[in-house]
Amino acid sequence: MNLRRIFLSLCLSACFLPVNAAEEEDIFSLLNLDYPGLEQVKSLHALGEDAAAAESLLAYFRTRKSEGTPELPSVQGLTITASQQKMADEALEHRFFAHYGYQPSYFYGDDIDWRYWPVKDNELRWQLHRHKWFTPMGYAYQVSRDPKYAMEWALEYQDWIRKNPLVALDDKEFEITGNSALDSLQENMCYAWRPLEVSHRVQDQILQFQLFLDSPAFTPEFLLLFLKNYHRHVEFLRQHYSKEGNHLLFEAQRTLYAGAFFPEFKAASNWREGGVKILNREIERQVYPDGGQYELDPHYHLAAINVFCKALEMARLHGFGNEFPASYGSTVERMIEFYAQICYPDYSNPCFSDAKLTTKEEVLGSYRRWSKLFPENAFIRYMATEGREGELPDSLCKGFMDSGFFVFRSGWGPDATQMVVKAGPKGEWHCQPDNGTFELWYKGMRLFPDSGSYVYAGDGEVMAWRNWFRQTSSHNTVTLDDRNLAVTQSRTLLWIPDGDTPVLVTENPSYEGLTHRRSIFFVQHAFFVLVDEVYGPAHGEVGVHFHPGPDMEGQYTLVCQGPPKMVYETRKGWMSTAYRHKVARPHRVYHATKKSGRSIRFVTVLLPGEKAHQVRIGRLFAHEGTLQLTIWDNKEKYALQYIINN
Ligand code: MG
């Protein structure tokens, strides 16, 4: 044991945060002392023997029967992963795992500086306050029974409380950064007490409570401090819910967890019912009838499913599952089917909007959980068992008309060709201005993956990167003068999922004076023909952008035919599938000048696979919703056409 350890241990044994009599009074007044099992606590407290009451309360919690949480039904027989062990050990040295995009973890000082902000990315500072290393410390304690993890956790837990006080924020705005009107305590509040971070702590402190409860760190005094801090967190969260979006979903689900796990609090039923009410309301607001979540981001879509499912699991576990109507369950099932449809046969997801790649292991784990919740659903079971049980849907191609996601697929197996097109409504915060874009997956290769997002928000440099990944021209779609789309509200003019050659025609009023119509033919379920037509009074340079994946040269053939003066250009592009990780890749642009009032057209033939193709694009006829086109691939001739009946 080094000197610092000895010092910390002394501090822990001697200097717990002072809990004065008045504060103790507060804590007992927050509990329902008539709750079964708290009889002795109640009588000791009534006699003024609060130290003994605290001891009795600790004994109660250590022996109470609880259904726990879906994540941790019991602390018996736990194991720890190498990454959890690393987080726990680094935390002993105050190297805190704040964000996986910033590894190795930073050192926050012997005397912890909770405001240390080495890179001015908001996420790094916010997420420090999620205390992601606390729960791994709990696992490390349970597995090793070494009290050092518990003692250090309790010290850091109290250090955080001391240095991150709740102060009044007049405007209740938690996303302000660099606002000189705020003093330093208030500025810190914007990070330490942002409601989403508070909700993380509310959820994870349940796990920490379970994991550390039998440790020497959980003295009666510490229990009172813990309960008081926890109560303060949930009450604060309840009064500062985010207005909308995935944040609100997380916050409501975690408030529900708090109410279900700690029924001993007087406020518990309020917490539980409040969470249920918000989730019942938001599932109607945030999910389109076709099952898509309104941020139009596969990652947050997945997160939203998990929020709704966790709430339902916790409610069923604690006997109040009937507070969610049947329609809640059927909406969640539609969301899961949506996710299964837009993802690829290897369980990877498109990285539209701010999405990151989720590992197969993680997604399979989710499917297995979902399949337990919806055992009758054969499609979910198929996904959960990797096809050993259950059934696939009847049709291969699938359109989601409200969300504007369209899936062209030749099969469900590893040798499939699959294109996912994103052409929907405006969407919410995480959605990017990318209407008409697509991802193409072929036999396990991400031939044309989305650029992803790389980072969210921060100072000038962080924002410059965010804007590069977010901009329209970083997508496989059409721009005017490389500008971002002014309008993102696509209309589906035609969707024929069946037959030899499925067809999609989608149109977006992209800019003032310029509409982009994109028609996509999935020819013989083998290759794609894209017809991009732009019309309207606007004048400018029209670009058709393609972003093949890194190292995908030679894995596809792409031929584009446009106006006679069309120019082909390659630029430097990027792709990101994880926060703060990016890989260089080519960005191919075909561009031509559009004169005012004239329309121009580009025809692109995109064939996946190494095989060489001699592609010829024949004459195209288009008039009032009718389009006819002939394509030759080597000597094979393909006559393509559609008629839109208004
Ligand atoms: Mg994108």
Q: Is 642 a catalytic residue?
A: no
Asked if 309 and 232 sit in the same domain, the reply is no
Distance 160 CA to ligand 1 centre (A): 37
Which pLDDT value is given to residue 190?
A: 86
Question: 5: which DSSP letter?
Answer: H
**Which is it for strands 437-442 and 514-523: parallel, antiparallel or unpaired?**
unpaired
Residue 53 lies in a domain: no
Q: Which residues contact 605 (CB under 8 A, 6 or more apart)?
A: 527, 528, 529, 557, 558, 559, 560, 615, 617, 631, 633
Asked if 495 and 356 sit in the same domain, the reply is no
Distance 330 CA to ligand 1 centre (A): 29
Q: Letter for the amino acid at 264?
A: E
Write the DSSP string, 237-270: HHHS--SSHHHHHHHHHHHHHHHHH-TTBTTHHH
Distance 464 CA to ligand 1 centre (A): 15
Instruction: Give me the half-sphere count of Cα atoms (radius 13 Å) on the Cβ side of residue 488.
Output: 25
Q: What φ, ψ does residue 407 adopt, rounded to 5°?
A: -115, 120
Question: 167-197: per-residue pLDDT in tens?
Answer: 876 555 555 455 555 678 888 988 999 999 9
Asked if 493 and 593 sit in the same domain, the reply is yes
Quote the CA–CA distance of 380 and 371 in Å, as a whole number.
6
Q: What φ, ψ does residue 562 adopt, rounded to 5°?
A: -130, -155
Distance 534 CA to ligand 1 centre (A): 22
The residue behind tokens 């971002």 is: 484
> Is there a cis peptide before residue 36, judged by omega within 30 degrees of 0?
no
Pick from 235, 238, 320, 333: nearest CA to 283? 333
Residue 496 lies in a domain: yes
Which pLDDT value is given to residue 458?
A: 75
- Contact 467/455 with Cβ under 8 angstroms? no
Which pLDDT value is given to residue 172?
A: 52
Q: What φ, ψ does residue 630 adopt, rounded to 5°?
A: -120, 135
Distance 575 CA to ligand 1 centre (A): 9
Distance 595 CA to ligand 1 centre (A): 29
Asked if 384 and 470 sit in the same domain, the reply is no
Residue 42 lies in a domain: no
- Contact 254/238 with Cβ under 8 angstroms? no
- Enumerate the H helices of 66-172 as residue ranges: 82-92, 122-128, 134-144, 147-163
Residue 37 lies in a domain: no
Which pLDDT value is given to residue 178?
A: 52
Asked if 505 and 428 sit in the same domain, the reply is yes
Asked if 530 and 565 sit in the same domain, the reply is yes
Question: 303: which DSSP letter?
Answer: H
Quote the CA–CA distance of 567 and 593 in Å, as a whole number.
9
- Contact 360/295 with Cβ under 8 angstroms? no
Asked if 219 and 368 sit in the same domain, the reply is no
Radius of gyration of the chain (CA): 28
Which pLDDT value is given to residue 131?
A: 98
Distance 369 CA to ligand 1 centre (A): 29
Asked if 615 and 631 sit in the same domain, the reply is yes
**Residues of the chain where predicted confidence (pLDDT) is lower than 70:** 1-25, 169-182, 646
Quote the CA–CA distance of 168 and 189 in Å, as a whole number.
9
Task: Find the CATH number of the domain harbouring 187.
Answer: 1.50.10.100
What's the burial of 418, exposed, middle or buried (CB within 10 Å: 0-12/13-18/19+)?
buried
Asked if 516 and 536 sit in the same domain, the reply is yes
Residue 311 lies in a domain: yes
Pick from 318, 358, 239, 383: nearest CA to 68? 318
Task: Find the CATH number of the domain harbouring 622.
Answer: 2.70.98.70
Distance 201 CA to ligand 1 centre (A): 30
Q: What φ, ψ does residue 403 adopt, rounded to 5°?
A: -80, -20
Domain count, the chain: 3
* Overall size of the chain counted in residues: 646
Quote the CA–CA distance of 425 and 400 in Å, as a whole number.
12
Distance 545 CA to ligand 1 centre (A): 13
Residue 161 lies in a domain: yes
Query: What element of type H or E holds 637?
Result: strand 636-643
Question: 119: which DSSP letter?
Answer: S
Asked if 126 and 221 sit in the same domain, the reply is yes
Distance 432 CA to ligand 1 centre (A): 6
The strand pairing partners of 503, in sequence order, are: 496, 521
Distance 350 CA to ligand 1 centre (A): 9
> How many CB atoms are closer than 10 A to CB 597?
11
Which pLDDT value is given to residue 26?
A: 80
Asked if 518 and 635 sit in the same domain, the reply is yes
Residue 425 lies in a domain: yes
Pick from 477, 466, 405, 392: nearest CA to 430? 466
- Contact 260/272 with Cβ under 8 angstroms? yes
Distance 434 CA to ligand 1 centre (A): 7
Helices vs strands, H then E, count in the chain: 18, 20
The residue behind tokens 């998990």 is: 306
How far apart, in Å, are the Cα atoms of 480 and each of 103, 467, 545? 39, 17, 11
- Contact 454/471 with Cβ under 8 angstroms? no
Quote the CA–CA distance of 408 and 501 in Å, as a whole number.
10
Final residue in a domain of this structure, among 334, 364, 394: 394
Instruction: Give me the half-sphere count of Cα atoms (radius 13 Å) on the Cβ side of residue 340.
Output: 28
Pick from 90, 220, 80: nearest CA to 156? 90
Distance 474 CA to ligand 1 centre (A): 7
Asked if 382 and 404 sit in the same domain, the reply is no
The residue behind tokens 């349970």 is: 142
Quote the CA–CA distance of 98 and 191 in Å, as a whole number.
13
Q: What φ, ψ does residue 480 adopt, rounded to 5°?
A: -115, 120
- Long-range CB contact pairs, 503-507, < 8 A, 24+: 503/642, 504/399, 504/406, 504/408, 504/421, 504/423, 505/642, 505/644, 506/404, 506/406, 506/421, 506/423, 506/435, 506/436
- Give me the domain span that covers residue 204: 1-18+75-240
Final residue in a domain of this structure, among 378, 394, 410: 394
300, 339, 347, 590: which one is catalytic? Answer: 300
Quote the CA–CA distance of 621 and 559 in Å, as a whole number.
19
Q: Letter for the amino acid at 31?
A: L
Question: 75: which DSSP letter?
Answer: S
Distance 425 CA to ligand 1 centre (A): 15
Residue 262 lies in a domain: no
Distance 354 CA to ligand 1 centre (A): 7
Grouping H, G, I as helix, E, B as strand and the rest as coil, residue 507 is strand
Final residue in a domain of this structure, among 221, 240, 259: 240
Distance 58 CA to ligand 1 centre (A): 51
Quote the CA–CA distance of 42 and 35 in Å, as a whole number.
9
> How many CB atoms are closer than 10 A to CB 186?
17
Distance 451 CA to ligand 1 centre (A): 5
Q: Which residues contact 345 (CB under 8 A, 6 or more apart)?
A: 411, 412, 413, 414, 416, 418, 441
